Structure 1
Amino acid sequence: MKSVISVEGLKKQFDNEEALKDISFEVGKGEIFGLLGPSGSGKTTTIKILTGELEPSGGLVEVLGYQHGAFKKSEYVRSLGILSDNSSLYERLTVKDNLALFRKLYNTEQSKVDQVLKDVGLEKHINKRVKDLSKGMKQRILLCKAVLHEPAVLFLDEPTSALDPVTTDSIHDMLLKIKARGTTIMLTTHNMDEATVLCDTVAFLNEGIIIDNGSPDALRQSYKTNDMHITYDDGRTKQISLSPENKVQLEAALFDTNVVNMKSDYPTLGEVFKKVTGKELV
């Protein structure tokens, strides 16, 4: 099946700074693809190129059969949903009035407004003014706005940045519902737990270069070791390799009442990122 998003050799230069240095990836229909990396790695630049806000300096970019030269066309723009740091709401209007404006713009039914508000748990707040909403509520309304017209592709730039865990979980649930309806989703994040929960495929972006990619589970598996980490109730720790030679030690630890925790060296995505880049995610 042909990819919905295809990026080959993408480069972007700002004056003397190379923001993107020859990156390539593909995203299939109905997939959630995560572009992961710290602030300044080139994630937002990539999103802005794919949504037509920036022109690439080199490479080939195609979304839904459109190449970047056609990204300004209205039919392309209408096929996208976008949530970025440029997304905004009319603060003095109610939630209902905000979404009514976008519903009319995209010629969608009122029932769709009711559905997306229910999906994010805000149907009871429809008559509140946006200025009176919390940051988390506003972010959920922005997501409603981005998906109101059932876009073929949804671009999300740090969709849950600085939100509380309950709001984050609510947004994750909505995104999984949107995916189940066949929408292709591309998100950028430096939250590796979020990527593990949501993404079918991820790519690690660091200093404008993709340094590894694959499914979250496959990446974690590829960087794990055969070590068991054991913690005792007095604070001592021990590391034992999983090998036949250490069978007696491992069995002893398993039944030792002084052991409070045993875990394998199965890294998180964040730990994998640190292994391949030597950097923390910030």
Structure 2
Amino acid sequence: MSTSESIIQCQHLQKSFQQKAVLSDISFSISKGQIFGLLGPSGAGKTTLIKILTGQLSPDGGSVTVFGKKAETLTGEDKREMGIMMDQFGLYERLTCADNLNIYADIYGISHRSAADTLAAVGLADSLKKPAACLSKGMTARLKLARAFIHSPEILFLDEPTSGLDPASMQTIHQLILKKKQEGCTIFLTTHNMEEAASLCDTVALLNDGVIVDQGAPDELCRRYNYQKQLLLHLSDGKDITLPQSGSSAESLYTLLKEEQIITIHSSEPTLETVFLELTGKSLQEAE
């Protein structure tokens, strides 16, 4: 499979529970080695979509293919090529970090040495004998991530992997995710953290009330909704000024640069958060 081929593809996916639509007309494609972010508030349908992509639920309509096969027909061997990190997939809290991973090593038929190596890869080499119940939130997240990729899967499904973590722990998880991408792993990431999505994802889809309202590369999406087209300048005298992002500003900009008055200069592209607000009429906080 070349890097340009789709490893996951959804076309007009539909899913309802008790006659209430949870996912409506969902379409997207993910290439091998890409980080795809599904962004939206809690209750938007993100976890339901992961369950469909991994064959845990069947769609009501449309088509879903993973590895070129319909998701609902994936075999055990196919699913072995997946790693899943979801909040409801808990750890064995009384068992040590090593024993937690050894269970999965046995399931996948790999050595306990691989479990130890995987713990080292996520920075838990000094916590092999520590019970999972004694871990911090950040360490728990790293152990769950280690469990998801202990068997070197082709696809990682990460459902809100940094939810509730402090900035330092979040950064550690981000580094681990990017390392897996560098190794050729395809990553399907759900999050309501727009900054996280902007820094990690090649492509993002904005999901609201079960509908993808737009999708594309993060920078591309932000440029698409840049209606203001302004330059924001902070000057050495402490003033902030705004100039139109056009030829009419060239002379003023030249003068300020020549006189070395500009401390910072930024264009006015919106963030993914403000794009979401533009498309849905509500912020993620309100949506939750």
* TM-score in same-fold range (> 0.5): yes
Instruction: List per-residue Cα deviations over 1:92-135 (Å, max 9, x = no partner).
Output: 11111111111111111233223322222111111101111111
In structure 2, C-alpha distance between the alignment counterparts of 1:118 and 1:28, rounded to whole Å: 29
Aligned match for 1:31, one of 34, 37, 46 = 34
What amino acid is aligned across from residue 18 of structure 2 in structure 1?
D
Are residue 269 (structure 1) and residue 239 (structure 2) matched? no
- Tell me the equivalent position of 2:94: 92
In structure 1, C-alpha distance between the alignment counterparts of 2:196 and 2:263, rounded to whole Å: 28
Q: TM-score, normalised to structure 2's length?
A: 0.89
- Partners of 2:98 and 2:116 within 8 A in 1: no
What amino acid is aligned across from residue 48 of structure 2 in structure 1?
T
Q: Give the match's secondary structure for 1:116.
A: helix
In structure 1, C-alpha distance between the alignment counterparts of 2:83 and 2:248, rounded to whole Å: 56
Q: Using the TM superposition, give the Cα deviation of residue 217 of structure 1 relative to its aligned residue in structure 2, in angstroms.
A: 2.0
What amino acid is aligned across from residue 47 of structure 1 in structure 2?
I
Instruction: List per-residue Cα deviations over 1:211-232 (Å, max 9, x = no partner).
Output: 2111112222222342012456
Residue ranges of structure 2 left out of the alignment (5+ in a row): none
C-alpha change, 1:234 and 1:41, in structure 2 (3 Å) is: farther
Aligned match for 1:16, one of 16, 19, 23 = 19
In structure 1, C-alpha distance between the alignment counterparts of 2:111 and 2:185, rounded to whole Å: 19
- Partners of 2:231 and 2:268 within 8 A in 1: yes
Aligned match for 2:46, one of 43, 48, 51 = 43
Q: Give the match's secondary structure for 1:250.
A: helix
What amino acid is aligned across from residue 8 of structure 2 in structure 1?
I
Over the aligned positions, Cα root-mean-square deviation in angstroms equals: 2.1
Aligned match for 1:174, one of 170, 173, 176 = 176
Residue ranges of structure 1 left out of the alignment (5+ in a row): none
- Tell me the equivalent position of 1:4: 7
What amino acid is aligned across from residue 17 of structure 1 in structure 2?
K
- Tell me the equivalent position of 1:208: 210
Q: Give the match's secondary structure for 1:266.
A: coil
Q: Using the TM superposition, give the Cα deviation of residue 261 of structure 1 relative to its aligned residue in structure 2, in angstroms.
A: 4.8
1:104-253 aligned at under 5 Å gives the runs 104-224=106-226, 225-231=228-234, 237-251=240-254
Q: TM-score, normalised to structure 1's length?
A: 0.91
C-alpha change, 1:234 and 1:17, in structure 2 (3 Å) is: farther
Query: Greater shift after overlay, 74-83 or 233-242?
Result: 233-242
- Partners of 1:66 and 1:76 within 8 A in 2: no
Q: Give the match's secondary structure for 2:269.
A: coil
What amino acid is aligned across from residue 129 of structure 1 in structure 2?
P
Determine what percentage of the aligned residue pairs are the same residue: 45
In structure 1, C-alpha distance between the alignment counterparts of 2:213 and 2:263, rounded to whole Å: 37
- Tell me the equivalent position of 1:57: 60
How many residues align? The count is 280
- Partners of 2:202 and 2:217 within 8 A in 1: yes
Dislocated runs of 4+, deviation >6 Å: 232-236
